[in-house]
């Protein structure tokens, strides 16, 4: 029977550390500010942004929100990013994705100052991670970094283990594979065109599912006692949030498993707070 990895608990711990460091900075007259930019009316995006605002309050950050209409011109959005880049009071900038189709997402992401890029989506930060330049002041993408914390929580060593990542997105799959590789895992990335996917998964000591399909990972795809991390955020037929893993079906076979909700989700949010604090500390160091 699997042990449940409690993402809420680990996230609270990360946030408590961030809060403590933030209050120490405050004693020195330094505040930490996150600017969040949201374009359009996507309800899910607005929920995410609301949660980020609450996280900022919890840890003692100042949060600034720019809610822009869906039909905003790209130039206008770029001009806002430029202003936030230049604003010395702003430590971190997050542009909530997805952006409306008429806006070139990569142009916008690339225009965020790498020193304020708390999502770690800027090619410069992606590059640092890729070459293993992962020091104290590195920005790591929030979801994969959160997953690494959850794996560490199990006490299972990554070095030399077979790690299988299902999904190859720029936000999760690819950086996830890099972070596991950095910890000396033997990493395989599977995706929609992978042949013998189930067989590859059965070789995984650590399996990270980031597919975007409810119940995709079933018990027959698991190695006995595997660490199973579920990055999925899907809605089932009844509209209930569920992951990529058939949780009930996999529970008896897995060694460790993350629930949805209460697994990776809270960690993503906590790591954003950590990155924002890092941005403030980095600025402090540079000024």
Which residues between 247 and 286 bind ligand GUN (CB under 6 A)?
A: none
Among 15, 91, 96, 253, the one annotated catalytic: 96
Q: Is there a catalytic annotation at residue 195?
A: no
Closest distance of CB 184 from ligand GUN, Å: 26
By beta-carbon proximity to ligand GUN, the closer residue of 10 and 271 is: 271
Of 209, 197, 96, the closest CA to residue 150 belongs to 209
Which residue stretches of the chain are H helix?
Answer: 7-27, 43-59, 74-86, 105-111, 123-130, 142-154, 173-182, 197-201, 247-251, 264-286
120 binds ligand GUN (CB under 6 A): no
97 binds ligand GUN (CB under 6 A): yes
Longest CA span, the chain: 57
Write the binding mask 154 to 173 for ligand GUN: x where contact by CB under 6 A, - elsewhere: -----------------x--
Q: Give the number of C-alpha atoms closer than 13 A to the C-alpha of residue 59, restricted to the C-beta side.
A: 33
Chosen residue from 33, 96, 258, 275 binding ligand GUN by CB under 6 A = 96
Chosen residue from 95, 228, 270, 273 binding ligand GUN by CB under 6 A = 95
176 binds ligand GUN (CB under 6 A): no
By beta-carbon proximity to ligand GUN, the closer residue of 52 and 128 is: 52
Using CB under 6 A as the binding criterion, the count of chain residues that bind ligand GUN stands at: 7
Helix, strand or coil, per DSSP, at residue 158? coil
Helix, strand or coil, per DSSP, at residue 38? strand
Distance CA 84, CA 56 (A): 18
Distance CA 199, CA 13 (A): 36
By beta-carbon proximity to ligand GUN, the closer residue of 22 and 275 is: 275
Q: Is there a catalytic annotation at residue 96?
A: yes
Q: Residue 224: exposed, middle, or buried by beta-carbon count in 10 A (0-12, 13-18, 19+)?
A: exposed
Among 91, 115, 119, 244, the one annotated catalytic: 119
Kindly indicate which of the ranges 68-76, 77-85, 95-103, 259-267 contains the residues binding ligand GUN, using the contact rule CB under 6 A. Answer: 95-103
Distance CA 113, CA 256 (A): 38
Q: Residue 34: exposed, middle, or buried by beta-carbon count in 10 A (0-12, 13-18, 19+)?
A: buried
Closest distance of CB 37 from ligand GUN, Å: 9
By beta-carbon proximity to ligand GUN, the closer residue of 142 and 189 is: 142
Paired residues of 94 in beta bridges: 36
Chosen residue from 18, 80, 90, 94 binding ligand GUN by CB under 6 A = 94
Q: Is there a catalytic annotation at residue 20?
A: no
Catalytic site positions = 52, 96, 119
List residues near ligand GUN by CB under 6 A: 94-97, 119, 142, 171
């Amino acid at each position: 029977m699997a042990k449940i990895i409690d993402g809420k608990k680990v996230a609270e711990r990360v946030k408590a550390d961030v809060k403590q460091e933030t209050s120490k900075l405050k004693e020195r007259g330094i505040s930490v500010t996150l600017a969040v930019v949201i374009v359009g009316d996507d309800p899910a995006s607005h929920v995410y942004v609301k949660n980020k605002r609450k996280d900022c309050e919890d840890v003692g950050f100042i949060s600034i929100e720019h809610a822009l209409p869906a039909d905003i011109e790209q130039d206008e959005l770029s001009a806002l990013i430029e202003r936030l880049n230049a604003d010395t009071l702003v430590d971190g900038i997050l542009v909530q994705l997805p952006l409306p189709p008429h806006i070139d997402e990569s142009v916008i992401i690339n225009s965020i100052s790498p020193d304020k890029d708390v999502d770690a989506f800027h090619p410069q930060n992606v590059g640092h991670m890729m070459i293993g330049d992962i020091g104290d002041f590195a920005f790591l993408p929030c979801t994969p970094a959160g997953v690494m914390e959850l794996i560490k929580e199990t006490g299972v060593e990554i070095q030399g283990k077979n790690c299988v990542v299902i999904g190859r997105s720029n936000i999760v799959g690819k950086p996830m594979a890099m972070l596991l590789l950095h910890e000396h895992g033997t990493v395989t990335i599977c995706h929609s065109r992978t042949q013998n996917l189930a067989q590859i998964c059965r070789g995984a000591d650590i399996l990270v599912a980031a597919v975007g399909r409810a119940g995709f990972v079933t018990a027959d795809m698991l190695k006995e006692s595997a660490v199973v991390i579920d990055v999925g955020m899907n809605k089932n037929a009844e509209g209930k949030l569920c992951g990529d893993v058939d949780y009930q079906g996999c529970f008896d076979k897995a060694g460790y498993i993350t629930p949805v909700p209460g697994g990776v989700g809270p960690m993503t949010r906590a790591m954003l707070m950590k990155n924002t604090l890092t941005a403030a500390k980095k600025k402090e160091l540079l000024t």
